[in-house]
């Protein structure tokens, strides 16, 4: 297993700063998702780790080994890194086995050893019976598995994924999420996974690094990112929820009492907030009740298991999302009970 560490990374393209002083460690055997909107710097980070780009400032380490800074750069082929691209990057004139064994032939591995290694990794990715299949005979998910097998056969201890599921439909994405999770358990490789899809990031990774505007906003376990976002930007990007204005009444340890529209709400907090605050309310922590926050139904959308209800609180722009088992009529007056809330730092 290999640790990756980036220190004060800056990447500039002319007058554009794609990465702005990012420092982050990727522990050995970890699965880290780089999450953020297009243009946030996540793919640039991946390319710097892979060696496809050189940093303008800062350094990249694999363990204690310096692999890149502005003056020197270890080439990609010397880093023992596997990269799985969104476009698969497979040779169309080769069959599955030939695509997978390409890295071994490039490294001049003994021909007698190649078939067994190829067969082993094809079994790992669930393509044991597809060795002689042509690439154009495969589905998108199967092609993605071939690209992954090509990384595994080279025994890469670091695997980088660049939006690998973006071209797949919902059913295939779900199947591949399970496959990636299983392969991580089997191999113990250090994985860095670039995505703009928060559902993928939360389901796959043991740590999520949220980026915006070339900066790192928060890096933590998925549960912490979701339940305790570091600021309003993370709260707004990850998961459904509403940022509601309130005023601090008092603090007790890590719990604060917040006045919202004349109703008191207990909220988890960092430190002891004072004065005006913003609290994050997730739909699953809210329910229609006989007592609680007074609200008016704006609309109700059927989502299958639940109705997603949008509510207006007193005060300009104060709205909530609640999942209800019952459809509610527009204009109906209700109350909302709150079972969990988070005071968003600095919001």
Contact between 147 and 89 (Cβ < 8 Å): yes
Positive or negative: CA dihedral 66, 68, 73, 76: positive
The residue-averaged pLDDT of 206-228 equals 97
Predicted local distance difference test score (pLDDT) of residue 345:
95
Q: Which pair of tokens denotes residue 245? A: 């204005």
| Integer Cα distance of 8 and 163 in angstroms | 24
Contact between 295 and 244 (Cβ < 8 Å): no
Q: Which pair of tokens denotes residue 342? A: 């988070």
DSSP string, 270-322: SS---SEEEEEE-GGGEEEESSSEEEEEEEEEE-SSSEEEEEE-SSTT-EEEE
| Integer Cα distance of 202 and 193 in angstroms | 11
285 contacts: CB under 8 Å, gap ≥ 6:
338, 339, 340, 341
Q: Which fold has domain 240-343?
A: OB fold (Dihydrolipoamide Acetyltransferase, E2P) (2.40.50)
Using only C-alpha atoms, the chain has a radius of gyration, in whole angstroms, of 24
> For the CA atoms of 118, 32, 9, 162, what is the dihedral angle to 10 degrees?
50
69-123 tens-digit pLDDT:
999 999 998 898 988 887 778 888 899 999 999 888 888 888 888 889 999 989 8
The residue-averaged pLDDT of 309-316 equals 87
pTM: 0.88
26-84 tens-digit pLDDT:
999 999 999 999 999 999 999 999 999 999 999 999 999 999 999 999 999 889 898 88
The residue-averaged pLDDT of 161-177 equals 80
Secondary structure in 3-state letters for 158-209: EEEEECCCCCCCHHHHHHHHHHHHHHHHHHCCEEEEEECCHHHHHHHCCEEE
235-280 tens-digit pLDDT:
999 999 999 999 999 999 899 999 998 899 999 999 899 999 999 9
Strand-strand pairing, 293-302 and 286-289: unpaired
Same fold, 4-232 and 240-343: no
Side-chain half-sphere of 280: how many Cα atoms within 13 Å?
A: 26
Model confidence at 1: pLDDT above 70: no
Ordered by start, the domain boundaries in the chain are 4-232, 240-343
Positive or negative: CA dihedral 308, 313, 316, 320: negative
Q: 4-232 belongs to which homologous superfamily? A: P-loop containing nucleotide triphosphate hydrolases (3.40.50.300)
Question: Please, which residues bridge with residue 319 across strands?
Answer: 312
Give me the chain's average pLDDT, please: 91
Contact between 297 and 331 (Cβ < 8 Å): yes
| Integer Cα distance of 6 and 154 in angstroms | 24
Q: 3-class DSSP state for residue 7?
A: strand
Contact between 222 and 34 (Cβ < 8 Å): no
For the chain, helix, strand, coil in percent to 5 are 25, 35, 35
Report the run of H or E that residue 147 belongs to, with start and end.
helix 140-153
Strand-strand pairing, 333-338 and 319-324: unpaired
Contact between 42 and 203 (Cβ < 8 Å): no
**Helix 114-124 vs helix 96-106: crossing angle, to nearest 10:** 130
């Amino acid at each position: 297993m290999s640790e990756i560490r980036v220190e004060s990374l800056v990447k500039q393209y002319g007058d554009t700063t794609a990465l702005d002083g990012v420092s982050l460690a990727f522990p050995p055997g970890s699965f880290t998702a780089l999450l953020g909107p297009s243009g946030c710097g996540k793919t640039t980070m991946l390319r710097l780790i892979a060696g496809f780009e050189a940093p303008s400032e800062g350094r990249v380490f694999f363990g204690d080994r310096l692999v890149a800074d502005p003056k020197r750069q270890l080439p990609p082929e010397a880093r023992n890194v596997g990269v799985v691209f969104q476009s698969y990057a497979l040779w169309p004139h080769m069959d599955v086995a030939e695509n997978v064994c390409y890295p071994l032939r490039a490294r001049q591995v003994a021909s007698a050893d190649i078939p067994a290694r190829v067969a082993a990794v094809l079994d790992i990715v669930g393509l044991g019976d597809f060795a002689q299949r042509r690439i154009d005979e495969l589905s998108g998910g199967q092609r993605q598995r071939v690209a992954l097998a090509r990384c595994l056969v080279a025994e890469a201890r670091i695997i980088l994924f660049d939006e690998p599921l973006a071209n797949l439909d919902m059913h295939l994405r779900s199947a591949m999420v399970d496959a990636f999770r299983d392969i991580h358990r089997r191999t113990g490789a250090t994985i860095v996974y670039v995505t703009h899809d928060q559902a993928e990031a939360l389901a796959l990774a043991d740590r999520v690094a949220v980026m915006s505007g070339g900066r790192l906003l928060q890096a933590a376990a998925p549960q912490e990112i979701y339940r305790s976002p570091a600021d309003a930007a993370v709260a707004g990007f990850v998961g459904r929820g509403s940022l509601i204005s309130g005023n601090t009444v008092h603090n007790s340890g890590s719990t604060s009492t917040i006045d919202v529209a004349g109703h008191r709400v207990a909220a988890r907090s960092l430190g002891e907030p004072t004065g005006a605050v913003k609290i994050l309310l997730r739909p699953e922590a809210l329910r229609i009740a006989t007592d609680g926050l007074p609200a008016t139904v704006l609309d109700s959308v059927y989502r299958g298991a639940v109705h997603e209800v949008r509510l207006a609180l007193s005060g300009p722009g104060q709205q909530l999302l609640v999942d209800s088992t019952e459809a509610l009529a527009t204009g109906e007056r209700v109350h909302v009970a709150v079972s969990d809330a988070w005071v968003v730092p600095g919001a």
